[in-house]
Amino acid sequence: MTTILETKLEIKSWDEQPTQEFDGGRKLTRADVVLAGVTDGHGDALASGSFQAVLYYRADGTSSFVSLMHLTGTLGGRSGSFVLQGEGAYDGTTARSEATVVPGSGTDGLAGLRGTAVSASTHADYPFMPLTLTYELE
């Protein structure tokens, strides 16, 4: 059975450093981000997480990125952790990303987790990152 969790994660810290800089303001960076879950205390919830991203910034400030995100939480009454592999883009207003649960990354009660996640956030959402997780548990 497919379940959808609409939630948000709090960005606790964001450390982004350039790894290469090019003419015209273009650059590659790496970001290390620490996340905390936001929950109402009922049902499914993501408790904590972190992600690493590699970003390419164009001269106009827009960017494209790839990421790996490690999350812990409770889904379908089962607790554990899993990893999302994603990619996305920032258009100058909204950061949008799509990710897939890495096969075999689920631990403990989340072993066998399959699914996808999408996020779209603006500066107005900060320090929160909306996330919609669509998943199935074996």
Question: What is the rounded average pLDDT of the residues 83-89?
Answer: 98
Q: Which string of b and e fits 68-80 if b means at least 16 CB within 10 Å?
A: bbbbbbbbbebeb
Domain total in the chain: 1
By C-alpha distance, which of 58, 118, 62 is closest to 90? 62
State the pLDDT at residue 42.
64
Question: What is the rounded average pLDDT of the residues 64-86?
Answer: 96
Q: State how far the Cα of 135 lies from the Cα of 107, in Å rounded to an integer.
A: 15
Query: In the structure, what pLDDT confidence band is assigned to residue 43 with cuts at 50, 70 and 90?
Result: confident
Query: In the structure, what pLDDT confidence band is assigned to residue 40 with cuts at 50, 70 and 90?
Result: low
Query: In the structure, what pLDDT confidence band is assigned to residue 21 with cuts at 50, 70 and 90?
Result: very high
Query: Which residues form the domain of 124?
Result: 3-136
| Cβ 114 vs Cβ 135: under 8 Å | yes
* 82 pLDDT higher than 70: yes
6, 12, 14, 15 alpha-carbon torsion, rounded to 10° = -150
* 39 pLDDT higher than 90: no
pTM of the full structure: 0.94
Question: What is the rounded average pLDDT of the residues 77-103?
Answer: 97
Angstrom CA distances, 76 to 64, 80, 113, 126, 138, stand at 33, 11, 11, 28, 11
State the pLDDT at residue 91.
97
Q: What is the CATH number of the domain that holds 35?
A: 2.40.350.10
